[in-house]
A and B are shown apart, each in its own frame.
Chain A
Amino acid sequence: MTTGALKPLRSLTLLLGLLLALPSVAEWGPKALLASLAEAVQPELRFVEERHDELLGIPLRSEGRLEFRAPDYLAKTIERGGDGSFVIEGDSLQVTRRGELHQIPLDSHPALRALATALRASLGGDYAALAEQFALELRGEPAQWRLILVPHQREVRRLLESLELGGSDARLLRISAYERGGQRSVTTLIYPDGD
């Protein structure tokens, strides 16, 4: 009775495999995911952003560059389909548009702080910063995951209902923002190695 002898053995290996797999299952959560993102941080990325807005007949498409330097420097430069560069550093946002520079404190509006955090902390893999602003819910599996961010503050939710980060393993591929009134924007990240 080979099968009979094998059966317990197979169940045992299955059990062992399960036991071995358990720690990794338990570990895979928002915290672990962001830690893996933090390790694989890219100093420079390109992006393509598409905005769907009921005021617009067609989606608005823009492209540009993202630069990140740990711990808290993020620059977004729009090169096509718009104008301006946006530098988040420390507690302020520096906007350069049409040659004019404006310094805006991130706390001048709670939604601005939330948006800045979503961008900077997801690129930099900063779990604590994200969790301070948003309720996090991770869906999918390591190979294809979605992290849903719902702002804690009602004042923020009035403008920004939720954000969704999408990716594969330690790579963030997409940031979608869902605004009130059905507007949304989807930012796709393009990595230099062409993945």
Chain B
Amino acid sequence: MPRVLSLAVWSLLVVAALALLQQRLVLGSDMQFFLPPAASPLQQQALDQLQAGASSQILLLAIEAGEEAEAAGLSRALAESLRGDTAFREVLNRPEALPEEEAGRWRAYRYLLSDAALGFDASALQQALEARLDELASPLAALLREDLAADPTAHYRHWLATWQQSGDGPQLRHGVWFTADGRALLLLRSALPTYDLDAQQAALAQIHAQFAALADETEASLLVTGPAALAVASRDTIRAELQWLSLLASGAVALLLLWAWRSPRLWLLAALPLGSAILAGLSVTLLLFGQVHGITLAFGITLLGVALDYPLHLFSHLRPNQPPGQALGKVWPRLRLGALSTATGYLAMLGSGFPGLMQLGVFAASGLLAAALVTRYVLPQLLPAQGQGLRAPRGPLLPTLRQPTVARRQGVVLSLALASLAWLLLSPQPLWQQDVAALSPLPAADRQQEGELRRALGQGELNQMLLLQGESAEELLQRSESLQFSLEDWREQGVLAGYQLPSDYLPSRATQRARQQALPTTAALSAALAEAQQGLPFRAGAFAPFVEQVAASRTLTPLTPADLGDSLLALRLAPLLFERDGQWWAVVQLQGLNDPLPLSELAAAQAQLHYLDLASETGAMLASLREAALRWLVLGALLIALILWWGLGRQWRALGEVLLPVGAALLATLATVHLLGELIAIFHLVALLLVLGLGIDYGLFFRREGQQTAGPREAGQPAWAATSRALALCAISSLLVFAILSLSAMPVLHAIGLTVSLGVLYSFLFAWFLAPVADPCHASDNNDRTSAQP
């Protein structure tokens, strides 16, 4: 009856979990989830800028074709077809021109928007007219004459020039942008959030499909890059790499287990605890958090590697013609203690307050407990009730160590641990990875390509900026205007190469009013104009449209951000001036900053003005994430120790025997990874959590078996053999999986693979090396093997 009951409960839970996941599982891909919660509105701004800032929404396209003219044609056709796509806010392949209708709208406001005028008195006007006359005599006359009668002071042209930055753009050939090496360039601004990788991926696929249709049967090729394209590419690369690596690893482990047990039944059953663990982890996380992040899933499954060992312990103790309950009786107490303590350790991450780490803790802890319960209650029910047909498992039989004494061996391991710690603390090499870019899974060449195209398009990474915080758009525009003086000085001194102020696009209402009030009356303007025209060949009355439009400007209502609608001007202004949670923010973009000192000093001196360096800000966030992970790793370890101490009959000695090998292994692993030239990042720490879980089990099982071996010979030997085979199988299978993972060229997979492989190796070897000595007279069988051991 209990057999039926436990199987029924398990099946019901599996079905319920599957139904829940089928209906509600959403895999999150928002990277912000794994960043620490913003500590201040300023940090929030930094995060927003990273995710949706002007420079993160850019896609850069380069078309290469046999002939430049062909590339130019493709550029035009591609731009045309993408302009209809709502995924892109803007598609540019040449300097943008304001749409005719919009140009007319802003032109009417030129005397409010622009400060080109020297004034409207006779001498200023004369100067302007002389300049216009020169233009008429130039080959450009046809182009420049258009606005001449209505705007002899060239206010409108001046306003356009302040925000079009035509100077540092790429070369134009055949009417479109080109790189110096002959590729046609396009610049797209995405309308999608950068972190919505699925939507971004669809948009990228759309670009490639359009291009393929246009470039059909030609040799032309298209390169798409930019933050979103790189993010999608890295997700794809990780997925593809994980897929074949895990296929390889599963194959290798499957072969190993088939070899060890020669039983397809055991081999299939071995997957149940891990499978149940993943289902449980997903369901519990989903129920508690409402979603499961993709990274939680990936890291969480890594941590659940411990669950793979549970059935191995059980199966290694099975004997032909003995009920599975006997084997269970031998392994369950230790397995239970190991699972409970490790799960508690993982749960400690709940205290971190980082959503990503909290999810990871819940996922791994619930998964581990589920795996232990399935091993305890479900697996034995599915094994032959009387052990019929089982064969003794194969596996390496480890010798028990007799020499040197346990105390000496403990001394050796302890000194190794101290040496590792000393290396970590005293090494001249930096310990932690500070550079976010180095964590990117993409080859450096891909990122370099992006940098090249960005430079070619004059769209540098806008990593430095000034942030203004205020109550209203008007207040911020006024403050933006007053910043211009300092910035212009600094530009002349070479502190920075350029800057973009929101007020370049739209002056404050106050400034617009002031300009309006400074406009002359019609009578005064006509008189000044007549005087200015003297001696110049312009016809009397030629500038009547100018006089009329200046008069009309005097009654215009100044423009505010709200008046801009969905114009190109609004599109330019939006990333520089916006409202968030009732606060207004203005962004001053800084280009080619050579010396941040004056800017940070200015920011320090003014309230509500901040200097923001995204690279150092994200570096700091990464560091705080890593520190939190480390802190909770240590705290988790303490909790684990507490539970172990209690579970081991409150004996400090016993606790020390279990913890010494794994503790030393953790330190030795970190030191070795660092010796190999790696900088420690968050991935390494997650990997150490797994090593901790695995190592505790090794310590528990070796210690117990060692003690038993020291007892009566008849009972001891088979138990030692079973345990040593089980642990060796566990260690070899973990090593196989993670050594294969460490072959990956991707930093994250390589880091986890290398760390876990080393950690497994060290904790296994240390635990075995420290297993309590077998009584010499009872364990004499092992003598020759012991002496053969190095």
The interface of chain A, by Cβ under 8 A from chain B, is 49, 51, 53-58, 60, 62, 76, 78, 81-84, 86, 91, 95, 97, 105-113, 115-116, 119, 159-160, 177, 179, 183, 185
Known: A55-B539, A60-B136, A83-B134. A107 touches B173 (CB 8 A): yes
Q: Interface on B for A, CB 8 Å cutoff? A: 94-95, 133-134, 136-143, 145-146, 148-149, 166, 171-176, 537-540, 542
Chain B nearest Cβ from A66, distance in angstroms: 11
Interface core residue of A76, A84, A113, A116 (most chain B CB under 10 Å): A84
A143 smallest CB distance to B (angstroms): 29
Least CB distance, A83 to chain B, in whole angstroms: 5
B539: A residues at CB distance < 8 A:
54-57
Q: Bound complex: CA of A131 vs CA of B172, how far in Å?
A: 21
Contacts of B542 in A (CB 8 A): 54-56
Q: A55-B542, A60-B537, A84-B138 are in contact. Are A106 and B145 (CB under 8 A)?
A: no
Q: Which residues of A contact B139 (CB under 8 A)?
A: 76, 86, 115-116, 119
How far, in angstroms, from A183 to B136 measured CA to CA in the complex? 11
Please judge, given known A-B contacts A57-B539, A91-B172, whether A78 and B137 are in contact too, CB under 8 Å: yes
Asked if A55 contacts B134 (CB within 8 A), the reply is no
CB distance from A24 to the nearest CB of B (A): 34
Contact status B172-A108, CB under 8 Å: yes
CB pairs A–B below 8 angstroms (6 shown): A53-B145, A55-B542, A62-B137, A95-B138, A105-B172, A108-B172
Q: In the assembly, what is the distance between CA of A97 and CA of B142, in Å?
A: 17
Q: In angstroms, how far is the closest chain B Cβ from the Cβ of A106? A: 7
Complexed CA–CA distance, A56 and B137 (Å):
12
Q: In the complex, are the beta carbons of A58 and B537 less than 8 A apart? A: yes
Closest to B130 in A: A83
The answer to whether A179 touches B171, judged by C-beta atoms less than 8 angstroms apart, is no
Smallest CB–CB gap between B337 and chain A, Å? 75
Question: Nearest Cβ distance between residue A38 and chain B, in whole angstroms?
Answer: 21
* Contact indicator A55/B538 (Cβ below 8 Å): yes
Q: Contact: A49 with B142, CB < 8 Å?
A: no
A119 cross-chain contacts in B, Cβ below 8 A: 139
Closest to B132 in A: A55
Q: How far is the CA of A165 from the CA of B134 in the complex (A)?
A: 24
User: Whose C-beta in chain B lies nearest to the C-beta of A159?
Assistant: B142
In whole Å, how far is B713's beta carbon from the nearest beta carbon of chain A? 93
CB-based contact A53/B172 at 8 Å: no
For B538, what are the chain A residues with a Cβ–Cβ distance below 8 Å?
55-57
Q: How long is the Cα–Cα vector from A53 to B133 in the complex, in angstroms?
A: 11
Distance A49 CA – B138 CA, assembled complex (angstroms): 10
Distance in angstroms between the alpha carbons of A84 and B140 in the assembled complex: 11
A78 to B146 CA separation, bound complex (whole angstroms): 22
Judging by beta carbons under 8 Å apart, are B133 and A60 in contact? yes
Known contacts A56-B539, A57-B540, A159-B142; A82/B172 CB under 8 A: no
Closest to B172 in A: A107
Chain A residue, CB-CB nearest to B94: A107
How many Å from the CB of B362 to the closest CB on chain A? Answer: 58
Chain B positions within 8 Å of A49 at CB level: 137
A92 CB, nearest partner CB in chain B, Å: 8
Q: Specify which chain A residues have a CB less than 8 angstroms from the CB of B540 in the assembled complex.
A: 57
A57 to B175, CA, bound (A): 37
In the complex, the answer to whether A57 meets B537 with C-beta atoms within 8 Å is: yes
Q: How far is the CB of A89 from chain B (nearest CB, A)?
A: 13
Closest to A111 in B: B143
